[in-house]
Structure formats: structure tokens, C-alpha cells
A and B are shown apart, each in its own frame.
Chain A
């Protein structure tokens, strides 16, 4: 058990806020994809990883500074996400519906398969080097009284909240945002006002994957880009944050739930051995699912039957 004093408490609180901000960032991205399209997008973990590799390669191969590399990495993730939706999920969803299968299960299996392929593809392509570092960011420790934070923590914190508030503004102040909210609420009704839900699905994949990409690059800056980067926790945290916040919640609330999760996890080290803190997150998910079961019927309903759109 850790010793409880003000310094230790303050440090854990700071760690929890920063870690939780990262959970919030990936939770927001995952949530917008799931809540609008109904796709249980496990391969979200791989857009996270892909962005980290692209950003790392931009730095190592072209000497690109950190911020442009981060942007290109995140954009690569966004493009990958859009391609996954357009080339894999949508055709499979239509095919499933045309033969009367459950699209939710097929999406799940397809996304799982995609994750395995991409993880092994990256591992194969990088066999000679087990990990790649992100270049151009000099992480420094900053001592504020008893608390030590890093420049990476602060940079990630500010970037995350800029993106979260930006997404809030996009959803609430722009016509695209109104269309996204309309499709999320009821895609059938949105058809009546001339919105093509399939395009909105692509749009949310672009947004959500971009968020995962930014988170992936920050994560790789903290550690290193590896094929397992997105699989060692981030997808799980995204899932927990999205479900606990509620699938119809706005990005600010989702991000705040991420922060709360991070703080609870960090504080749990006061009474749990460090290696068992993920159990706290498991417990939160367990109780949430037990008390508020996931509405799979609603997710199924969100699966876009384009054939029905045509009719």
C-alpha cells in the first residue's frame, strides 16, 4: 500500500488527470463512431497504432518535426478509418442485411479480423526493428512543489481539450454537426430531410480515427511505436469511457468521464499493487454493464441498410 501524504496524493491526482485526459481523447473518438454508425470498431486500436508509425516514420525518414508528423499521422489514421468503413464495414453490412444475418456480429468479426491482419502486417513490415521512436519532442520533467509533470503531459492535455471543444463546436455549431446528430438520433428520419447516412458514417470514421491517431502519436511519444501499441489497453479504455459516459453524450462529458476514470485508477494505487490497477477499470465496466446493459438492439438498428435507403 502506498503512503498517503499531500505530496503523494497531489502527484497521483495529477497523474490521474493526465492519464484520464488521454483516456478521454480515445473515448471521444470511439464513442462518435459507435454511437452514430453502430460499428463495434475494434480496429480502432489499429488506427491508433498506424498513426504512431506514420508519425515516427515521418520523423526518422524525413526528419519532420513533431507537430507536422503528428498531423500527418493523425490524418493517415483518419483516411484509414474512412477506408475501413467504405471498403469493409459498409459492404459487409449490406451483405449481411441482404441475407438476413446479424450485422452487429459480422461487424464485430470483421473488425477483429482487420485488427489481426493490421497488427501482423505492421509487425512483418517492421521485423528488423521492434519499436520506433517518435522524433522531435524533448520530454522534460517540471517540478511544481511536490508534483512532477512532464511537457508531454501538458502538451497532450492542451491538445486534447482543444480537440474536444473543437468537436463540441463542430457538432453544435455547424451543419455537418447537425447532420451527425440527426443520423445519431434517427437515421431513417434524417433520410427524410435529404441526409445520406452513409456519408455521415464516413465522416464520423474520419473524426473518430483522427482522434485515435492523435492519441496514438502521444502514446508512442511517451513510450514507443510498437505493433501492440493500440492493443495494450487503449481500446479497452476507449470502450469503458464510451459506455460509462453514455453513447449519446457530448464530447466534453465523455472526456470528463475519461479524466474521472484516470483519477480513480491512479488513486487506486494507494490501496492496490500497481499491476492490479486495471482491475479497477474492469470493475467499473462490469458494474456499469450489470446496471445499465448495452442496448444492442439500438446498435443493430443503427447499422445502415443501404438497400433500404434506396427503397
Chain B
């Protein structure tokens, strides 16, 4: 490029101006799309027990969003970026503050992109953000601490490696750790003679070792043995060598500890392997279901799944209805979209509590203090027909302390709930 003439590249534009323009265009392209005219908040403030004295009306607050806009997870990013927009529009309609969303692309787990996103938020003094994939697989954690950005992660949570990090909180159960105890109880109940448990998980080095150790810990005193513990690369599409080794281990049950679309590829290849043993996974998405097609039939899953076909409480029902009206009537919201919506509301709750404590909602330390003083918030999960559920954080680990979870099975193309439990297998109850 010609850099003479003061760097101007034609039509009087400098390279810097051109790049700025391109950045603005990209930001506009990535802006969540919400039809604000259809926003309906009737009865919502009462449902969420909003104190009208501390709604934050008149305030404008910046919120960073570091989500996968491009890359392999872009199809999920497109969904999770819409629901905070819907939540913030509802909050404004209820007399809350104007949340100014600043969307940055983490490029589906690209650490450099994550670092850059947080740096940009830090330079702009953004006090709070919504992030994903365990703060972009931990790449954002240093910046979150350095720039003091209160961060909520509803797609990966804290996992094992990002716990107790100041300003960083996970709003989804840790997978598979939090669900494994419930899955073990389910196996004992469903298949009492099952002893040999094989697993296939992503190869994440030491983290994979930690997961296997925790699985073994849960197997203690159950008579279960780890028949095989296969590892695959993240994002693999060919699981046939792993499945072959699992087959050779003669398992009674298979745990598929893989995520995103991978479980779709796994099941597509598993059903022709001749193993014919039940598979339990710890996450499921519509994309994975589409990849697997009929091979998804019979798959079990155990985690904090948001069942949009059976919203448990009035707020969850409101969310499902409003999602269809404002975001996409053709797609059922999954747990990622539900969590990002819920996270937006948690931020608002924190802002309200900060105001009530006479704090400054633009100061992340004040926001953090408000969160820690009362770490329980309304939730789309749990509750009952008349009462909104709750989500509670552990102020030591910064992960969820209480979270309704389930074991369910895909049957005739639908989710069939089989058991309910909470973190660590607490309150386990078979439904059928």
C-alpha cells in the first residue's frame, strides 16, 4: 500500500481512518438484532422482585461481550449475542439503565482475539462483561484481573482451571464435574449390573487428567471401573479410532465428555460400531443433533439443560415466548442462549444491589462487593409454576453452588427427562 502523502490511500482517507471504518462496520455487522417494538415486559418486574427505587433509570452502562462471532463456534455466537440484547431491551423497558453493548469477537477460542477483546474493554474502562468458553479458555483471565472487569461466563463457567479468579464468575455448572455424581447415580439406578465405564474426552492435557481423576473419585465405592479413557483432539470429526478402542474395552456404559458439534460426529459413527451400549454426554446442541440425525436417538445427557419445551417457571416461560417473538421463531433457545439472557439480568441485579449499597455501578470493585454480599439471583432454571428459580454462587470458587440439573434422553426426536439432581448429585430423583 502506498504510504506516501501522509498515509492517505485515496478519497482523502488515511489508513488509520480506513481501519477504524472497517472496525465500525464489523461491529455493526455483529450487533445483536432485536425487534424492540415487540418487547413485552408485562409483570416481569414483579416476577423478578425489582425494587423501583434502585433500577438505575437514567444510567448508561457499558457492557463488554466477548463471544464467538467468527470461527468454528460462530453459529453459537450468533445465538448468544442476541439474547443479552433482548434482556437489555427488557430492562430498559422496565425502567432500568441503558446497557451499551460492546461486542468483540473471540474468534471461537482464539487466545489472541480474547486477549485483544479484554484489552479493548480495559482501555475503554468497561466495568463489566459477558464472556464465553471459560474466558476464552483462560486467555482473558489476566486482562480481566488487570483491567478489573466483572465478568460472567455462561457457556463454559469457571471449569476447574479458572476458579477463584477475582472478577471472574461462572454461571453454568462445571462440566462434567458437577454432573458426574448425578450421572453415576443414574447409571446405578438404570443399569444396576453395569460396572465397566468407558469414556471419550477431549485431549486437554493436564485438565483431562483432572477430569479423569474426578471421575475415578466418583467411581470409588461404586464398583465401577474405567474400562477405557480415550482422548481425541478438540473439534475432531472422526471418532472411529476412539470408538474402536472403546469397543475393545467391552464397556457397559460410555461417557462422551466432548462438546459442541463433536458429540454429533461421535454418535454418527458410534451407532454403526456395533457396540450397542448406552452413551451419556454432558452437553448437547442443536447443531450436534442435526449432524447426528437419527444417530442421536437414544443418547442420554446429564447437565444443567434448559428445556425450552417445558419451561419450569414463569420467567423461563416469558423467556421462551419472547425469544420466539423477538429473536427467532424457528429455533428453540438452548442453554447457551438462556444463560446469556440470564447473565444480562444478573448484571442488572448486581447494578441494583450496588446502587442500594450506595456504590458506583461504573466501578467494578463496587459491583463485585455487591455480588459477594448476596450471591443469589433469579434464574430461568428451577422454581415452579408460580415461583422463579434461583442461581447461587460459591464465593470461594466463583462457580455455581446450586443449579438444577437433569438426566434426559433423546427419544423420538424429543427430550425425555428421566432424573433431576443438583450440583454433586444432591437431591437425586428419578422421574420415571
Contact = CB atoms under 8 A, between A and B. Distances in A.
B274 A148 contact: yes
A141 B274 contact: yes
A141 B238 CA distance: 16
Contacts of A8: 248
A168 B264 CA distance: 38
A12 interface: yes
Contacts of B247: 11, 148
Interface in A7-30: 7-8, 11-12, 15, 19
A127 B75 contact: yes
B232 A274 contact: yes
A275 B245 contact: no
A131 B291 contact: yes
B193 interface: no
A61 interface: no
A12 B240 CA distance: 10
Contact of B264 (A127, A143, A224, A277): A224
**Could you say which of B74, B244, B265 has the most chain A C-beta atoms within 10 Å of its C-beta?**
B244
B237 interface: yes
B290 A223 contact: no
Interface residues of B, number: 32
A311 interface: no
Contacts of B74: 123, 127, 130
Interface in A253-287: 266, 269, 273-275, 277
Contact of A275 (B203, B244, B249, B261): B203
A224 B75 contact: no
A228 B293 CA distance: 20
A127 B78 contact: yes
A275 B245 CA distance: 12
B237 A269 contact: no
A234 to B, nearest CB: 11
A96 B119 CA distance: 44
Interface string A87-125: 000000000000000000000000000000000000100
A140 B264 CA distance: 16
A49 interface: no
A11 B249 CA distance: 13
Given A3-B248, A274-B242, A131 B261 contact: yes
Interface in B253-291: 261, 264-265, 268-269, 271-274, 287, 290-291
B78 A15 contact: no
B269 A222 contact: yes
Nearest to B269: A222
B310 interface: no
B75 A269 contact: no
A269 B245 contact: yes
A232 interface: yes
B241 interface: yes
B241 A15 contact: yes
Contact of A269 (B241, B261, B287): B241
30 contacts: A2-B245, A2-B248, A8-B248, A11-B247, A12-B244, A15-B240, A15-B244, A128-B75, A128-B78, A129-B287, A131-B261, A133-B290, A133-B291, A139-B272, A148-B272, A148-B273, A222-B238, A223-B237, A223-B238, A223-B265, A223-B291, A226-B237, A228-B72, A266-B241, A269-B245, A274-B230, A274-B241, A274-B242, A275-B231, A275-B232
Given A3-B249, A127-B74, 12 more contacts: A7-B248, A11-B247, A15-B240, A15-B241, A130-B75, A130-B261, A131-B290, A131-B291, A223-B237, A223-B291, A274-B230, A274-B232
